[in-house]
A = this chain, B = another copy of it.
């Protein structure tokens, strides 16, 4: 159960992945997604950049992995995207609720939400979650002006998560997912496809 602190390259060591993830989390939080390089993360973790790519793929994959989400939002949203824009708001919301309503995923998701709300995590949201996760998903949906629409969509989704899961405000906290979708789906659809100033 005890581990010895080790330094330097450990390409095959079982804790290399963990070291890379820890270095990535720190870099992304400090510098944001855009200004963080795989090379810098690799240097911080004391490994070769090729190993980072080998374990995690692209920088975006590494970012998603560093968030320690219980699901990859891109995988979950792929079927939503495949069905096109019609009713996409309702489908995005339904998918989100299915993930959050799963008791096994709730606690890890709450931990991510709290880390993004913490002042140290603000960059991770703005120049990370939005830029590296939400904007690409919306772009794949083929919608226009994604940079304007992503924060609007995020505002309603974040507010819902805050009320339903963090503050557990009734009756929203106990409302069946289908009812939440019927009430808030039109809002998400409006932000995806409605007029912008």
A interface list, Cβ under 8 A from B: 117, 122, 125-126, 130, 147-148, 151-152, 154-160, 162-164, 166-172, 175-176, 178-179, 182-184, 186-187, 190-191, 194, 196-197
Contacts and interface: CB of A to CB of B under 8 A. Distances in A.
A154 B117 CA distance: 17
Contacts of A122: 166-168
Nearest to A124: B167
Contact of A162 (B152, B155, B190, B191): B155
Chain A contact residues: helix, strand, loop or mixed? helix
A178 B148 CA distance: 15
Contacts of A190: 186-187
22 contacts: A125-B167, A126-B168, A147-B171, A151-B163, A151-B169, A151-B170, A151-B172, A155-B160, A155-B162, A155-B163, A155-B172, A155-B184, A156-B187, A157-B159, A158-B158, A162-B162, A182-B197, A183-B191, A183-B196, A186-B190, A187-B187, A187-B190
Contacts of A162: 117, 155, 158-159, 162
Contact of A158 (B159, B168, B182): B159
Contacts of A156: 155-156, 159, 187
